[in-house]
């Protein structure tokens, strides 16, 4: 009889405890149907900014002279001290391909002059006519040179 009372007490305790709590089933929100998205991604290729040739100021002198079948000599005078300079050499070959060379002279003399030679092709098979651009603080001077045959 004691076992029945304990069991009955246990069952009453479970019923009383369960009466205060209710369990509600929570359904997850419905999953939306997938939406097909088409994206077109194209790779952006950086293009250099075209240089606009400007008249050479009175203070500057710029000359490019062919000294051989493959090289030119450059002379720049009148640069400001520590003025950054870029030289661009461009040519188009017989197949329509473009060759470009870019240099940044660093050994400009205190009087603002700079002189150097630049090899533009390894042999006589490359393009002979080159556009040369001197880019400086206030603009860009441009000239064309044809290498000696």
Would the CA dihedral through 74, 80, 86, 90 be positive or negative?
Answer: negative
Q: Does a structural domain hold residue 19?
A: no
Query: Which tens digit of pLDDT belongs to each residue from 19-75?
Result: 555 566 677 777 777 776 666 666 666 556 677 899 989 999 999 999 999 999 999
Burial of residue 52, with CB atoms counted within 10 A of its CB: 0-12 exposed, 13-18 middle, 19 or more buried: exposed
The residue-averaged pLDDT of 113-139 equals 90
Distance of CA 137 to the CA centre of its chain: 22
CATH code of residue 133: 2.60.40.10
Number of folded domains that form the chain: 1
Q: Does a structural domain hold residue 6?
A: no
Would the CA dihedral through 137, 142, 143, 146 be positive or negative?
Answer: positive
Q: Does a structural domain hold residue 48?
A: no
Residue span of the structural domain in which 89 resides: 61-146
Q: Does a structural domain hold residue 71?
A: yes
- The two tokens of residue 13 are 């305790």
Query: Which tens digit of pLDDT belongs to each residue from 71-118?
Result: 999 999 999 877 889 999 999 888 888 889 999 987 788 888 999 999
Q: What is the pTM assigned to this prediction?
A: 0.64
pLDDT of residue 89: 94
pLDDT of residue 45: 61
Q: Does a structural domain hold residue 10?
A: no
């Amino acid at each position: 009889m004691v076992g029945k009372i304990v069991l009955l007490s246990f069952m009453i305790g479970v019923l009383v405890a369960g009466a205060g709590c209710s369990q509600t089933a929570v359904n997850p929100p419905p999953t939306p149907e997938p939406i097909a998205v088409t994206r077109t991604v194209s790779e952006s290729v950086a293009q250099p900014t075209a240089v606009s040739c400007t008249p050479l100021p009175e203070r500057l002198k710029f000359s490019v002279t062919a000294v051989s079948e493959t090289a030119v000599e450059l002379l720049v005078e009148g640069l400001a001290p520590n003025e950054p300079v870029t030289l661009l050499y461009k040519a188009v070959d017989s197949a329509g391909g473009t060759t470009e060379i870019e240099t940044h002279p660093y050994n400009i003399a205190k009087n603002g002059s700079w002189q150097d030679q630049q090899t533009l092709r390894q042999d006589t098979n490359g393009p002979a006519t080159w556009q040369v651009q001197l880019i400086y603080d206030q603009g860009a001077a441009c000239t064309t040179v044809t290498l000696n045959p």
